[in-house]
């Protein structure tokens, strides 16, 4: 069975300022988003209006997005990420596209409440989500753009090479991006404690997910990421697609 009603998971988006990627000097905390936590939703949840200035395009290596359980709040399945241990050629993609937003400690604690996470015990397995620290790849120097309309067709895929973690020997997971523009950071990621059964998300939830991705990823990349589910998304993003 799926655990108690959640406050939704995913978080958001892309970055402009290289300073935020330098985690040693910044007090802000990178949070990887792969579901409904787009800039608008996170901004309302954490009471921030400048998130476009601290967001970045990002990839979570070795994990994939999955829609599971049933959320009364959203009326369908909700997102989590699961580790993909199948690394052999010809298998499914071994990374999850998303975004990163840098939040203050206070903002992160506000977001925790929406994700049903105990800030003092973020790995608590009895709640809807737990919060883990995982390595993500961010792409530096791309401005946040107004997202396009939800995609309806197309497919694309990034390079399946190991990523920047292998002593710079291989390309980024987005193969066309120069290594000097890719940085690996330890980011906070919301992971659902119960990841079965799989369940189709609602159009509103998918619209929120597409909104998150559309700030940084192309229509073809979104179509590849969501494997056709983006066609269920609503034609327009609105406040009705935000839970805050």
Residue extents of the structural domains in the chain: 18-239
Q: Range with the lowest mean pLDDT among 68-82, 198-212, 229-243? A: 229-243
110-117: average pLDDT: 97
Indicate whether 174 pLDDT > 90: no
Phi, psi of 23 (to 5 degrees): -65, -20
- 31 CB burial (10 A radius; 0-12, 13-18, 19+): buried
Indicate whether 169 pLDDT > 80: no
Encode pLDDT of 72-95 as tens digits.
Answer: 999 999 999 999 876 554 456 689
pTM of the full predicted structure? 0.78
pLDDT at residue 229 in the model: 94
Band (35; pLDDT cuts 50, 70, 90): very high
pLDDT at residue 119 in the model: 97
| CATH number of the domain located at residue range(s) 18-239 in this protein | 3.10.490.10
Band (143; pLDDT cuts 50, 70, 90): low
What percent of the chain stands above pLDDT 70? 70
Report the mean per-residue pLDDT for the chain: 80
Indicate whether 154 pLDDT > 80: no
């Amino acid at each position: 069975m799926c655990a108690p009603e959640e406050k939704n998971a995913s978080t958001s988006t892309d970055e402009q300022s290289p300073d935020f990627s330098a985690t040693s000097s910044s007090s802000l905390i990178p949070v990887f988003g792969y579901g409904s936590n787009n800039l608008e939703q996170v901004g309302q949840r954490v009471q921030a209006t400048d998130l476009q200035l601290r967001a970045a395009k990002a990839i979570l290596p070795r994990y994939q997005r999955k829609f599971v359980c049933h959320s009364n709040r959203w009326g369908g399945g909700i997102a989590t990420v699961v580790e993909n241990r199948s690394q052999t050629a010809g298998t499914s993609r071994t990374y999850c596209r998303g975004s990163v937003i840098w939040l203050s400690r206070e903002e992160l604690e506000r977001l925790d409440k929406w994700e049903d996470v105990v800030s003092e015990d973020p790995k608590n397995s009895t709640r809807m989500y737990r919060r883990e620290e995982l390595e993500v790849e961010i792409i530096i120097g791309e401005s946040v753009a107004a997202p396009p309309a939800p995609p309806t067709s197309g497919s694309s895929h990034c390079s399946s090479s190991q990523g920047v973690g292998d002593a710079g020997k291989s390309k980024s997971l987005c193969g066309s991006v120069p290594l000097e523009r890719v940085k690996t950071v330890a980011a906070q990621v919301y992971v659902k404690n119960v990841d079965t059964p799989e369940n189709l998300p609602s159009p509103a939830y998918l619209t929120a997910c597409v909104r998150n991705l559309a700030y940084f990823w192309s229509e073809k990349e979104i179509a590849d990421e969501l494997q056709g589910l983006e066609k269920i998304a609503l034609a327009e993003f609105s406040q009705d697609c935000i839970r805050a």
